[in-house]
Amino acid sequence: MKQLAFAALFSSILVTPALSFATASSSTRPYVLQYGSSPGQVNMDACTLDAASDHVRDVVNAGVIDGAVLLVARHGKVVLHRAYGRRDGNFAGPAAENPSMSRDAIFDLQSITKTFTAYIAVDLHDQGLLDLSAPVANYLPEFNTPEKSGVLVRDLVRFTSGHSIDAAASLVGDPDPWGTMLAEGLVATPGTMVFYSDIGYRLLGRVLEAAGGLPLDELVQERLTGPLGMKDTAWQPLVNMPSKALRFAGTGYSSVRETNGAPRYLRGETADEQDAWIESHTHAATGCDGAFSTAWDLALFGQMFLNRGARVVGYPGWGYCTPWMWTCDIELLASPALVEATIDLQTKDASGAPLGIHGATSSWLDDLLFANKSYGWELADADPGAHVVTGLYASPSAVSKIGGAGTFLTVDPDPSRDLVVVLLTNHGLPSFVGPDGIQVDGSGNLIWPGYENMLNGIAPNIVNDLVQLAITGP
């Protein structure tokens, strides 16, 4: 973390004229996230925002999910933050034991975890502790093989390492899951195609630990969640924040975690069985899944990207800070250029041509697996037929991240939008097996009916469309 000198401020943050202070974007001056007085304060239409809220309520009432929290912030002002339904999803116990959802509920983020991991990679690179262009073998000697010596750290971060979506065999029950993952073969030549990979991000976490000298969860706390004040964000919350257990949103049952095979309801435990096994048997956080958080904490994270890596400390009387305000200071967590690069298109070959697919895709899964990526995020794509959370009206620079248990984070850094949208639900992780599980169709394509049903049922893209349409001015 670096204090911004007065002169350096002008090279990274342009100060707007006084007349535009009321609507200046976070790119021109950093904001502190705080509640706004009304949507009109940031030129948003209250009725259209209510329509976005009504959509989430309708999804709950239709039984697609049992509960959710929605938060919308623009220009650093939270203009919508509501809770819907019940705290625990897919809960078979007495209704009296399932309270109403609260706005500060703590959710299983699943793959939104990857955005934390990617940020730490960029931050360590910024500090000279990690070289994104270096071979992974520089940090993990097991990669020093003919097959894997060409895998760069950047390839792990941008999903071009050549790893499959996950290990060939389940890691549950494996006495040495890290050894298994390190030995896992590749399915493509590194740097030649986009293939979304959980195993790649688990191994990226190990790279970051080698470079940063701390366990991954401690790196995240020291370099991200601590400085941003994300007090309700952690891996293994049952262990690391047990006093907040009543706020944990449950997602469903596990049939493999009890030795007698009895179903165990999951509240404060990651829904992914493989990551749960790794956490409990190796005492290590994983870089792909496992983090838990609230809508507010994720909005703090998103606002940092809108602020181009800056955070405001002290007392900013108007919710923002400029160099000549004596009551506040501006600090950079990472350089603006690297923060912007984190959410920019990164899946390009040496000539600058995109490696991933763009435009219409056959499914949400196709877009997740093969579409172009930034560092850890999915990119906006307004082409007809694209399956993207950002929707039809987001700016081309918008990014989003899907968590497999029904959590969604969207950041639109375009100065005319300056938005963070957080939608967290207790849908639960769709099954990997059976008729709704991952399978190969008659044409040889990977399909995941349960995942498609979740995305189509919740329709986070519709929420984002309505939020974008609510914007009435700069």
The model carries a pTM of: 0.94
The pLDDT of 263-269, averaged and rounded, is 97
- pLDDT reported for residue 5: 34
Pick from 10-14, 125-129, 212-216, 245-249: least confident = 10-14
pLDDT tens by residue, 426-465: 999 999 999 999 999 988 889 999 999 999 999 999 999 9
Dihedral (CA of 317, 318, 320, 321) sign: negative
Pick from 109-118, 120-129, 247-256, 330-339: least confident = 330-339
* Burial class of residue 113 in the structure, from the number of CB atoms within 10 Å of its CB (0-12 exposed, 13-18 middle, 19+ buried): buried
Nearest CA-CA partner of 118 in 411, 458, 425, 443: 411
Query: To which residue do tokens 């896992």 refer?
Result: 184
Distance (Å, whole) CA 141 – CA 249 = 39
Pick from 137-141, 234-238, 256-260: least confident = 256-260
Contact between residue 356 and residue 194 where contact means Cβ atoms under 8 Å apart: yes
Would the pLDDT of 20 be above 90?
Answer: no
Pick from 6-10, 123-127, 283-287, 353-357: least confident = 6-10
Would the pLDDT of 387 be above 50?
Answer: yes
Query: pLDDT band at 23, cuts 50/70/90?
Result: low
Contact between residue 320 and residue 31 where contact means Cβ atoms under 8 Å apart: yes
The pLDDT of 411-435, averaged and rounded, is 97
- pLDDT reported for residue 8: 36
Higher pLDDT, 19 or 352: 352
Contact between residue 66 and residue 265 where contact means Cβ atoms under 8 Å apart: no
